[in-house]
Amino acid sequence: MPDLATARMLLDRLVAFPSVSRDSNLDLIEWVRGWLEAQGISAQVVPSPDGRKASLYAQVGPDVPGGVVLSGHSDVVPVDGQAWTSDPFTVTERDGRLYGRGTCDMKGFDALALAALVLAKRRGVKRPLQLALSHDEELGCIACIPMIEAMAALPRASAVIVGEPTMMRVVTGHKGGMAYWLRVRGYEVHSSIMHEGVSAILEGAKLLAWVNEQNAANRAARPGPLAAMFNPPWTTVHSGQISGGTAHNITAGACEFGIDFRVVPGEDPDHWRQAFYAKVAEVEAEMQAVRAEAGIDVDERFVVPPLAPETQGAAEALARALTGDNARHVVSYGTEAGQFQVRGWSAAVCGPGDIAQAHQADEYLTVAQFRAGWDFMEDLVAGLCK
């Protein structure tokens, strides 16, 4: 019968796949598919449009509604430039911690979910347990959408548990996210006659000034009841990278930078999207009044819907019953829970590990948290057997 040792074996195997988001994850997905097949469980693979990556979903139990989805992602962030004290793609246990890239975010949960799927099959659950294993979550939580849509062929589950690291606390809300990369095309002239050219840097700065204005206004406004739960309790607009220009005495011919939004539940992300594009159009019109060939190209990287706390949500009720956690927890980062929720599933976030360890050198998951995660899975399966 699958147990904690089975989950630990699976964690070792999953971490050994260097499934960094910039690279393919097909070897990991194929191994998972084959391992499940060996346990008598059929899995469906959902390839990416270019065929380089894939997601996977599976079900055990009868074809009836009212089951539970365990949702995880297979990708991890890079280790480049990080000072690891052990091999990041080998699980190393020391001092009660399991070190390795992805042990916390979130192959620890993936391993537990896979073991739980087999446990559910062996025990003969009366309601189904489903697994959703996505790719490219670290790039924006959008690659999961085709998998979620494909899962509509399964009996509709009553709850989705997304196992991002929460220290096994029940997170019922998170901010949404939107990210854009802007390429500002100016027109180069000598800076002594800058009025005849267009500086991509100075024009881009108008958009960055708008970012600061939005943050100031949002901070000054009184937060709504949903926003008040967050830290900070307002929608934030941010830019973390910028480059441009060729010399100090030439108007910049190009400038590139990113702008991203973290939108509190209760606010419409499309409102912010429209406001952003309206400002881009305004600045671009001013540029083209000087030089018609100037302009701004916008690459929309991702749009992640927020997770709104649900009224009498099935996922929240389930997670609270299994963990005993009755406190209110919300987070400012995004997860795939919002993608499930906007498509009609009840969703909550609950998984082993501390988000503070995610993406760090010497990322780790404590043995105690891994064990707590397995206790959660055993209790979940027991409930599905009733």
Residue 160 contacts by C-beta under 8 Å, 6 or more apart in sequence? 68, 69, 71, 132, 315, 337, 340, 345, 346, 347, 348
- Domain containing residue 282: CATH number: 3.30.70.360
pLDDT at 284 over 80: yes
Tell me how many domains the chain contains: 2
pLDDT at 1 over 90: no
Average pLDDT over residues 86-115: 98
Q: What are phi and psi of 342, to 5 degrees?
A: -70, -15
State residue 79's pLDDT score: 97
For residues 295 and 287, give the distance between their C-alpha atoms in angstroms, rounded to a whole number: 7
pLDDT at 227 over 90: no
Last residue within a domain, chosen from 269, 304, 339: 304
Is the same domain home to 247 and 327?
A: no
Is 75 a residue of the active site? yes
13-27 residue pLDDT tens? 999 999 999 999 999
Is the same domain home to 169 and 238?
A: no
Is the same domain home to 29 and 80?
A: yes
Is the same domain home to 165 and 186?
A: no
Average pLDDT over residues 58-76: 98
For helices 108-123 and 4-15, give the axis angle rounded to 10 degrees: 140
* Full-model pTM: 0.90
State residue 199's pLDDT score: 98
- Domain containing residue 63: CATH number: 3.40.630.10
State residue 333's pLDDT score: 85
Largest CA distance in the chain: 80
What type of residue sits at position 339?
Q
Is the same domain home to 154 and 26?
A: yes
Share of the chain above pLDDT 70, in %: 100
Is the same domain home to 232 and 349?
A: no
CB 67 within 8 A of CB 129: yes
Is the same domain home to 181 and 262?
A: yes
State residue 281's pLDDT score: 98
Is the same domain home to 194 and 329?
A: no
Average pLDDT over residues 252-279: 95
pLDDT band at residue 55 under the 50/70/90 scheme: very high
Instruction: Find the range with the poorest average confidence among 70-79, 82-91, 300-309.
Output: 300-309
Is 149 a residue of the active site? no
Q: What are phi and psi of 44, to 5 degrees?
A: -105, 130
Q: Which two tokens stand for residue 24?
A: 């393919």
Average pLDDT over residues 223-228: 87
Is the same domain home to 19 and 165?
A: yes
Last residue within a domain, chosen from 273, 304, 335: 304
Of these residues, 105, 110, 136, 137, which one is catalytic?
137
Is the same domain home to 290 and 334?
A: no
Average pLDDT over residues 171-196: 96
State residue 268's pLDDT score: 87
pLDDT band at residue 323 under the 50/70/90 scheme: very high
325-382 residue pLDDT tens? 999 999 988 899 999 999 999 999 999 999 999 999 999 999 999 999 999 999 999 9
Residue 197, domain extent: 176-304
Last residue within a domain, chosen from 253, 281, 304: 304
Is the same domain home to 92 and 214?
A: no
Is the same domain home to 341 and 259?
A: no
